[in-house]
Amino acid sequence: MKKLTASLLVLVMSSSIAVANAQQKNDTIKTKEIEGVVVTALGIKREKKSLGYASEEVKAAELTGGTTNTGNVASLLSGKVAGLQVNTNNNFGGSANLLIRGYKSLGGGGPLIVIDGSPVNNSTVSGSTFDYGNFLSDINQEDIESVNVLKGAAASALYGERGSDGVILIVTKSGRGNNDGSWGVTLNSGITAGFIDKSTFPTYQKKYGAGYGGQAWNEAPGPGGYNYANFVDDASYGPAFNPNQLVYQWDSFDPSSPNYGKATPWVAAKNGPIKFFETPVTYINTITIEKGNKTSNLSLSYSNMLSNGLLPNSELRKNTISAKFNHDFTDKLHASVFTTLTLQDTKGRNETGYSDNVVTGFRQWWQTNVDVLALRDAYANNGNSNFSWNRSTAADGTPQYWNNPYFQRYQNYQSDNRTRIFSYAQLKYDISKNFGITGKLSYDDLQMVVEERLMNGSLPQAFGASQLNVSSGYSRTNVKNSELNFDVFANYKFDITPDLNVSGIVGGNVRRNLIDNIFMSTEGGLSKPGLFAISNSVRTILPPDENYAKKLTSSLYATASFAYKNFLFVDGTYRIDQSSNLPKANNNYDYYSVTGAIILSEFVKQPWLSFWKVRGNYAEVGSSTDNYRLVNTFKARGEGLFDQPYFLANPNLKPQRSKETEFGMEAQFFKNRLGFDIAIYKTRTIDQIINLPVSSATGYRTFLVNAGQIDNKGIEVQLNGTPFKSDNFTWDVNVNWSKNENKVIALNGDSQNYLMASYQGGVSLNARVGEAFGALVGSDYVYNANGDKVIDPATGRYLRNNNQVIGNITPDWVGGIRNSFRYKNFTVSFLIDVKKGGDVFSTDMYYGLATGLYAETADYRESGLVHPGVNPNGNVNTTPTINPGSFGNVDGYRRMPNKRFIYDASYVKLREASIGYSLPKSILANTSIREAKISIVGRNLWIIHKNLPYADPEAGTGNGLASKGNSIGVLPTTRDIGIDLTLKF
């Protein structure tokens, strides 16, 4: 992988220098056009050359033009911005995690999302086995004009406490219409289909069938002396397949099966679990209507999305309506209004993690003799009942561990619907050419209803408010999350001297956040089968779990930007916040930034140098905490009973602070044919608000404190090149690469470890003093002085050493290479997305190797395996593993240390590819169509390199820290291919 990346870079750069140097006489480009104007904090437009911090803009064509419509804007940023790490998964309607410049906080954290200067919610519904997606997916990608990523503290300091993890600024399109003042209409229609990448799903062995005990069968022989298969054992470590051996299997008890009452040949199933998946297809249609003139412009859009997932009984319907209106009442009074409404209904999201996730069963606890299509027929032909392959006994068809997967999907499905409204209205009055006042009101409201079902006859499981084991149930969650922002600020600009001018803003913000969630569930099961209603509870329901939280933040801010002779720029920002979630003594906190930039190309006049700038900055930012952290609250349990919380609140909390220094350089050569942008930074985050363990003698498990320090440092590189350019053909290349290193410097007092998440098998995700953030802790091998793995000569198995750091989720570096080609009316582009390093614990391999599912388990069950390593005396091991015929004795969780299942999470992916053709203007001349383009687009077309077997190393269980570092029951990745048609009238 290293050679591949290096070779591409050498080819691109050498080609660019050689060809651009030969062609530069044909280019006429101005220095101002090289850098351009970008949108910065609070929606303020600035010349990019004046900025003293790193920011990176992605235009709409680069964001959406070369790939399928994913339905989630966040995922479209993969591989396109230096310093931005994007983790996507294949969950139906699932999340995309965004991270800028590594983890700075023990709580994780992601960037603030801002639309046209107004913050929007990008959180998710937590506390569930389902991934409900990050709420940025509610934004219609066809409304986006550009995305600007503010990476460091200096770039985002104006957003106060919420900008500590960076900011992603989204600029929406304004109406333009046709030149004659008539309406302009754009129609966009696309269809995408997904096809499973088989390298991300298990390859099963086909030599052995159901069971744990090698040659042992289940129970005594049945009629005719034939054996019963081990349908009770959810593993494939049983007897070897033999077509001459007749066995009573699970379908011998299915009255609707042709095998009913029969003993059938003991062979591997014809149809394995991969046949369980369906072909996901997505249809998206968008219409945009625009009109504009010198004083007004209007844009209206409607988008409809219909999609099904990989798993049966899954469907997502999303409708988005947007409107944007800009109007100049006079030469001095200007108004802007934007609103978007999203209505989404989703049914059948896939479960994640361990739980009753059917994909966990396919990857860990399955029998290779079970035909999945026979299970489909058993479900359909037995009144949609839970006819499982995993019977308790020959006489008892009650599921032992697993439901019939079709029953699970069609009867135990979840559903959710949400309504999202985001709107803002802005009024600006220009008092003079140097002074203006702006008022802005924005409102973001999300309301969601989530329903989860457990049909009568299900395998008993923990469910509902009490988490008691029941075989049926229903729960409902009502979510309301709203935010109101009001900003008033004055902008100013004047000349101090003919060579020195100053500009900036002075203003304030008031923000109100509201969370109002209610959770209710049945208790003891459903009284009437199949009636999913809270009132259909067998037992008296518990009081609703209500979470009502308000937060008020008031802020004042000011900026000053000095420019001297158009080559020296110095900026300063200051903001003070007051948070209602902190105690009065500590609820006021301020932060500031200072930046500088020098345009060296104003002094070095060379024909080959188009632009050259150096920059630097220092900034401090702070952040508050969530509601109800100052005093303990209690939860009502009915009949005058209240639950005491497990954590101890802290009335003396103070804000977390982060301090960052950054230096950078950017340059363009040969009239913008070759260029680079490099940034280096160092960040120190202190006084973090964390929940640390405390002695149970106190009556609590954890307590809140200000503690901990994490240091980050890194480098970001962005390269652009045009190796060839002519009237008919252009080749553009963009490369980004970034490396972030972090270290946990301290926690609290003598504390050396902070637990962030726990996984199956005793593995955990931690912040450990002296280690990089995200340490994976579990059992390791025992090593001798030479670093050899030590093996017990009596068993042939590795010795284990518990509670060791066995991996880390932090990648060594991430990057992307995008090539775009244009030949006359044809366009071709592709994006290579790369992540190097970082580790993942595969719970699937941890269990699946022990249960005998995977292909590599087939060849050692008689003779065992001689593991590489040494005996305690230093001699090379020659002992085969003993008793290899019993499950898990050779490999897997029963005998191996956790380190065995730690894999390098690196990948190289062909993330995007497209081929497009635009009809010539001559063909459209006598029609009402102004532009017509058809494209074949693809996404995740090829995992060029990975080290994790049978799964995509990028896929996680959902959103947030807990989804990192653990590969467990994830859906296979799909290669998505689509056709996109755009018509403009």
Handedness of CA 390, 392, 397, 401 (dihedral sign): negative
Q: What confidence score (pLDDT) does residue 638 get?
A: 63
Cβ neighbors of 911 (< 8 A, separation 6 or more) are: 67, 78, 79, 816, 831, 832, 833, 939, 940
Q: What is the pLDDT confidence band of residue 1, given thresholds at 50, 70 and 90?
A: very low
Are 773 and 767 in contact by the 8 Å Cβ rule? The answer is yes
Q: What confidence score (pLDDT) does residue 698 get?
A: 74
Q: What confidence score (pLDDT) does residue 10 get?
A: 40
pLDDT tens sequence across 280-329? 999 999 999 999 888 899 999 999 999 999 999 999 999 999 999 999 99
CA distance 324 to 339: 7
Indicate if the pLDDT at residue 177 is higher than 80: no
Indicate if the pLDDT at residue 30 is higher than 70: no
Indicate if the pLDDT at residue 26 is higher than 60: no
Q: What confidence score (pLDDT) does residue 12 get?
A: 38
Q: Which residues pair with 943 in a beta bridge?
A: 909
What is the average pLDDT across 84-88?
91
Indicate if the pLDDT at residue 13 is higher than 50: no
Q: What confidence score (pLDDT) does residue 505 get?
A: 94
Structure tokens at 431: 């008092």
**Distances from the Cα of 360 to the Cα of 620, 780, 853, angstroms:** 45, 25, 12
Indicate if the pLDDT at residue 6 is higher than 60: no
Most confident of 30-34, 134-138, 201-205, 920-924: 201-205
End-to-end CA distance of the chain: 46
Cite the beta strand spans of 471-567 per DSSP E.
Answer: 473-495, 500-521, 545-564
Q: What is the pLDDT confidence band of residue 180, given thresholds at 50, 70 and 90?
A: low
Q: What is the pLDDT confidence band of residue 23, given thresholds at 50, 70 and 90?
A: very low
Are 555 and 162 in contact by the 8 Å Cβ rule? The answer is no
Structure tokens at 492: 């100013």
Q: What confidence score (pLDDT) does residue 962 get?
A: 72
Structure tokens at 319: 């409708």
CA distance 736 to 559: 31
Other CB atoms closer than 10 Å to residue 61's CB: what's the count?
12
Owner of token pair 């949400």? 418
Cβ neighbors of 243 (< 8 A, separation 6 or more) are: 265, 266, 267
**Apex CA 604: angle with CA 602 and CA 606, to 5°?**
110
Indicate if the pLDDT at residue 868 is higher than 70: yes
819 or 158: which carries more pLDDT confidence?
A: 819
Q: What confidence score (pLDDT) does residue 17 get?
A: 40
The most distant pair of C-alpha atoms in the chain lies apart, rounded to whole Å, by 106
pLDDT tens sequence across 43-71? 788 888 899 999 999 999 999 988 888 88
The pair phi, psi for residue 809, each rounded to 5°, is -80, -15
Pairing outcome for strands 473-495 and 468-470: unpaired
Task: Annotate 740-781 with three-state secondary structure.
Answer: EEEEEEECCCCCCEEEEEECHHHCEEEEECCCCCCEEEEEEE
Q: How many residues comprise the chain? A: 985
Closest CA to 137 of 483, 420, 353: 420
Q: What is the pLDDT confidence band of residue 31, given thresholds at 50, 70 and 90?
A: very low
Percentage of residues in the chain with pLDDT exceeding 90?
73
Structure letter (DSSP) for residue 224: G
Q: What confidence score (pLDDT) does residue 637 get?
A: 66
Are 828 and 90 in contact by the 8 Å Cβ rule? The answer is no
Closest CA to 811 of 908, 737, 739: 739
Q: What is the pLDDT confidence band of residue 35, given thresholds at 50, 70 and 90?
A: low
Owner of token pair 């972090």? 742
pLDDT tens sequence across 345-355? 999 999 998 87
pLDDT tens sequence across 477-502? 999 999 999 999 999 999 999 999 99
pTM of the model: 0.92
CA distance 22 to 15: 11
Percentage of residues in the chain with pLDDT exceeding 70?
95
Structure tokens at 423: 């709107």
Cα dihedral 343, 349, 353, 358 in deg (nearest 10): 180
pLDDT tens sequence across 327-347? 999 999 999 999 999 999 999
pLDDT tens sequence across 876-916? 999 999 999 999 999 999 999 999 999 999 999 999 999 99
Indicate if the pLDDT at residue 408 is higher than 70: yes
Lowest mean pLDDT among 389-403, 457-471, 627-641, 818-832: 627-641
pLDDT tens sequence across 807-860? 999 999 999 999 999 999 999 999 999 999 999 999 999 999 999 999 999 999
Under DSSP, is residue 307 helix (H, G, I), strand (E, B) or coil? strand
Are 116 and 145 in contact by the 8 Å Cβ rule? The answer is no
Under DSSP, is residue 579 helix (H, G, I), strand (E, B) or coil? strand
Structure tokens at 288: 């945009």
Lowest mean pLDDT among 394-398, 686-690, 719-723, 823-827: 686-690
What is the average pLDDT across 625-633?
83
Indicate if the pLDDT at residue 216 is higher than 80: no
Indicate if the pLDDT at residue 755 is higher than 70: yes
pLDDT tens sequence across 421-472? 999 999 999 999 999 999 999 999 999 999 999 999 999 999 999 999 999 9
Structure tokens at 77: 């940023």
- How does the average pLDDT of the chain come out, rounded? 90
Q: What is the pLDDT confidence band of residue 157, given thresholds at 50, 70 and 90?
A: confident
CA distance 656 to 159: 15
Are 711 and 733 in contact by the 8 Å Cβ rule? The answer is no
Q: Is 749 left (phi over 0), alpha (psi -120 to 50) or beta?
A: left
